[in-house]
Amino acid sequence: MKLAKTLLAAAVVVGSLGGIAVAQDKVVIGVSVPAADHGWTGGVNYFAQQAIDRLKVTYPNAEFVFASAPDAPKQIADIEDMVATRGIDALVILPGDPDAMTSAIKQVKDAGKFVTVVDRQLSINGVENLYVAGDNPGLGANAAAYFKEALPDGGNIVILRGLPIPIDQQRFDGFMAGIKDTNLKVLDDEFANWNRDDGFKVMQDFLTRFPDIKGVWTQDDDISLGAIEAIKQAGRENDMFVVGGAGMQQIIQAVAAGDKLTPVDVSYSPAMIATAIELTTAHLVSGVQVSGRYVLDSTLITKDNAAGFLDASSPF
Amino acid sequence: MSASAPDTAAKPRRGFRIDLKTAGPLLALALLVLLGITLNENFLSYSNLTNVLARSSFIGIIAIGATFVITAGGLDLSVGSMAAVIAGVMIMVMNWLIPTMGIGWGVVLAGMLAGILLGGVAGVFNGLMITRGRIEAFIVTLGTMGIFRSLVTFLANGGTLSLNFNVADVYRPVYYDGVLGVPWPIIVFAVVAIAGEIVMRRTAFGRYCAAIGSSEQVARYSSINVDNVRLLTYILQGVLVGVAVLLYVPRLGSASSTTGVLWELEAIAGVIIGGTTLKGGYGRIWGTVVGVVILGLIGNILNLQSLISPYLNGAFQGVIIILAVLLQRERLTS
């Protein structure tokens, strides 16, 4: 996060210096994201629109086309329309399903557009000019490091996973590698689909099944919220702790307040879409060099640093 | 939805006759319970059973409404999205009323009233479009499904609507507490199911639904007001979605665009597993209850074992659903 902010600040400063000299025609930037089907993607939509509103003021000659799609075919249709009818110069895309969309995104690149891919790796290397993402293996590894520290003598833990897509696997592998050679025992892992209701159900059943659970890793704060209700219902909130991920405000507030049930969280901010849009716009408007890979850290949020992650205006 | 061609297959006239078709869903349920017992000793524990039943109660109450709609030859795909938008509006109404009414049951009751009313209004809209607008139920409710889903996303600004923490504390017991250890959702589910069974079997409305579903023309010639009966089924569906949401909101105190996703398909699946025919003409409420409990148990059993890879959960679910219906279909030929 810090790295990105520095880069961003540099980009914006350079951009504002060069901006005066470049009095070119309008540039059009297409922004395509998945529909708000859970809290995190909701955050992506919010931060994307917020960035667009802000950048429109900063760069009067930049124009944005924003589209939000519920599935891969719709998202492909969106970007085809952007190229064919809206004449975009650049595309910022968070692909809902990166494997399914790789060839469609490559066509945009082949048509000579600047392509920025956010969060999810395409199946072919070198398609995108700019890649901005969170650190998924790091999210798992940081959570694992906390489990090792909190349970030095080991103990039983359960894992609630997201959806069966590569991101989830990277997080899971990162976590499992982190707890290798410890006495931490994973009793079971089940998919809770990054969804509160499913988090509630899966946790209820884990509680029925296992009388001794010391820790719960949900890797997502939406799942955490459901799991926490199930734990409270069973009256076992003093037996275990829950570690989520993403940095949802509600959870960060609990962390800041020193809640024993949610002692820490791991950041994975949907605001990365805003970083990507800003960098892309700076490049197009002012010719700032931004090509490359930008990976935002998945930081461990504890009681001590939680204040820095609080943002009252964020809907996520 | 209903075909004008007469149905040649002889339908069982009374639901109480003991035949194997009747026992089909019960047999599937019994097999599932046996499977659960062998997989995990905690399966039959009181807390597990109440967990599963309370969780199933939302879908169950909605599915009872769907039984009437489907029996009358209709279909309502909008119930999941409708539930989400009702939950969202209820939360907004309650948060909005706090400054004037203070924290307490007054706010909660006002929220509940708003939920039921909105459900009824949504049902009236669906019903009028279908009966007076003469549009296929599938299309109308596919349309409202999208409208309601977008509305809740819009109201939540793409994020999550959360109920004020203090009100949530007042409201919470509606999901978690109950009478004599039986949680409220289960009690409400049971009351709605018994009332539904009586309405379906013992009232003119129930018989009209079946008559319309089996042949709209004949029903019309028998001077049944087809449009009004149909309209009523959609209103009943809407109100029951409202009732389900009353029980859903206190559980997590939040609503987002993921609330109620695919509930419509789960409700319809529960209805069909229970022995109601998808093309209408025959419906049974108790079957729907069994169907919904079967669906709830499948999810529960999958979480209670480690034998089946979580990647295959969907396949297991599909197999059980098809088997449950197959058990009934075989009876027809024998």
pLDDT tens-digit profile of A39-63? 788 889 889 999 999 999 989 889 9
pLDDT at A3: 58
What CATH number has the domain bearing residue A28? 3.40.50.2300
The answer to whether the beta carbons of residues A156 and A209 sit under 8 Å apart is no
List Cβ<8 Å contacts ≥24 apart for A256-264. Answer: A256/A303, A256/A306, A256/A307, A256/A310, A258/A303, A261/A228, A261/A231, A261/A237, A262/A224, A262/A228, A263/A146, A263/A150, A263/A302, A263/A303, A264/A146, A264/A300, A264/A301, A264/A302
* pTM (two decimals): 0.79
ipTM of the predicted structure? Answer: 0.73
Supply the DSSP string of B225-290, one letter for each residue.
-HHHHHHHHHHHHHHHHHHHHHHHHHHHSEEETTTTTTHHHHHHHHHHHTT--TTSS---HHHHHH
- Which residues of chain A are within 8 Å of residue B254 when distances are taken between CB atoms? 196, 225
- B7 pLDDT band, cuts 50/70/90, is very low
- B10 pLDDT band, cuts 50/70/90, is very low
Contacts of A177 (CB under 8 A, 6+ apart): A140, A141, A144
Is the CB of A190 less than 8 angstroms away from the CB of B303? yes
- A10 pLDDT band, cuts 50/70/90, is low
Same domain, A209 and A253: yes
Same domain, A262 and A153: yes
Average pLDDT score over residue span A299-312: 87
Average pLDDT score over residue span B159-165: 85
| d(C-alpha B71, C-alpha B56), whole Å | 22
| d(C-alpha B194, C-alpha B198), whole Å | 6
How far apart, in Å, are the Cα atoms of A104 and each of A110, A128, A165, A170, A172? 10, 12, 19, 24, 29
| Statement: residue B3 has pLDDT above 80 | no
Domain total for chain A?
A: 2
Q: Regarding predicted confidence, which is higher, B144 or A270?
A: B144
Same domain, A142 and A102: no
Of A2-6, A244-248, B245-249, the range with the lowest mean pLDDT is: A2-6
pLDDT at A161: 93
Q: Using CA of residue B260, residue B261, residue B266, residue B271, what is the dihedral sign?
A: positive
CB burial class (10 A; 0-12, 13-18, 19+) of residue A142? buried
Average pLDDT score over residue span B94-99: 93
pLDDT at B16: 47
Q: Measured over all CA atoms, what is the biggest interatomic distance in chain A, rounded to whole angstroms?
A: 68
The answer to whether the beta carbons of residues B124 and B238 sit under 8 Å apart is yes
Supply the DSSP string of B39-85, one letter for each residue.
H-TTTTSHHHHHHHHHHHHHHHHHHHHHHHHHHTT---TTHHHHHHH
- A6 pLDDT band, cuts 50/70/90, is low
The type of residue at B21 is K
Same domain, A6 and A124: yes
Decide if B40 touches A, using CB distance below 8 A: yes
How far apart, in Å, are the Cα atoms of B315 and each of A41, A66, B100, B105, B318? 27, 37, 51, 44, 5
Same domain, A37 and A75: yes
The answer to whether the beta carbons of residues A287 and A18 sit under 8 Å apart is yes
| Statement: residue B6 has pLDDT above 70 | no
Same domain, A143 and A197: yes
| Statement: residue B40 has pLDDT above 70 | yes
Whether A256 is covered by a domain: the verdict is yes
pLDDT at A21: 42
Q: Which residue among A46, A164, A205 sits closest to B300, beta carbon to beta carbon?
A: A205
Is the CB of A42 less than 8 angstroms away from the CB of B159? yes
CB burial class (10 A; 0-12, 13-18, 19+) of residue B138? middle
Whether A123 is covered by a domain: the verdict is yes
Restricting to B residues 167-186, those with a Cβ less than 8 Å away from any Cβ of A are 176
| d(C-alpha A285, C-alpha B38), whole Å | 66
| Mutation choice for B interface testing from A188, A208, A210, A224 by most B CBs within 10 A | A208
Is the CB of A38 less than 8 angstroms away from the CB of B258? yes
What is the helix, strand, coil percentage profile of chain A, to 5? Answer: 45, 20, 35
How far apart, in Å, are the Cα atoms of B218 and each of A54, B3, B151, B225? 64, 11, 40, 11
pLDDT at B25: 83
Is the CB of A209 less than 8 angstroms away from the CB of B254? no
Contacts of B317 (CB under 8 A, 6+ apart): B295, B298, B299, B302
- A308 pLDDT band, cuts 50/70/90, is confident
pLDDT at A43: 86
Same domain, A205 and A56: no
Decide if B156 touches A, using CB distance below 8 A: yes
Same domain, A125 and A16: yes
| Statement: residue B19 has pLDDT above 50 | yes
For chain A, state the CA radius of gyration. Answer: 21
The answer to whether the beta carbons of residues A134 and A119 sit under 8 Å apart is yes
Residue for token digits 């800041």?
A: A256
Restricting to B residues 239-278, those with a Cβ less than 8 Å away from any Cβ of A are 251-252, 254, 256-259, 261
| Statement: residue B234 has pLDDT above 90 | yes
pLDDT at B15: 47
Structural domain of residue A66, as residue ranges? 2-135+269-297
pLDDT at B66: 97
Same domain, A123 and A211: no
Same domain, A248 and A164: yes
- Which residues of chain B are within 8 Å of residue A195 when distances are taken between CB atoms? 258, 261
| Statement: residue A102 has pLDDT above 50 | yes
Local structure of A67: helix, strand or coil = strand
pLDDT at A69: 87
Is the CB of A196 less than 8 angstroms away from the CB of B252? yes
pLDDT at A199: 94
| Mutation choice for A interface testing from B58, B165, B247, B257 by most A CBs within 10 A | B257
The answer to whether the beta carbons of residues A29 and A89 sit under 8 Å apart is yes
| Statement: residue B13 has pLDDT above 70 | no
| Statement: residue B111 has pLDDT above 90 | yes
Average pLDDT score over residue span A85-107: 88
pLDDT at A2: 57
Same domain, A223 and A172: yes
* CB environment A256-278: b (16+ within 10 A), e (fewer): beebebbbbbbbbbbbbbbbbbb
| Statement: residue B169 has pLDDT above 70 | yes
Average pLDDT score over residue span A189-208: 92
Whether A313 is covered by a domain: the verdict is no
| Statement: residue B209 has pLDDT above 70 | yes
Whether A316 is covered by a domain: the verdict is no
Is the CB of B257 less than 8 angstroms away from the CB of A38? yes
Same domain, A30 and A176: no
pLDDT at B1: 43
pLDDT at B115: 96
Q: Regarding predicted confidence, which is higher, B23 or A305?
A: A305
Q: Using CA of residue B108, residue B109, residue B112, residue B118, what is the dihedral sign?
A: negative
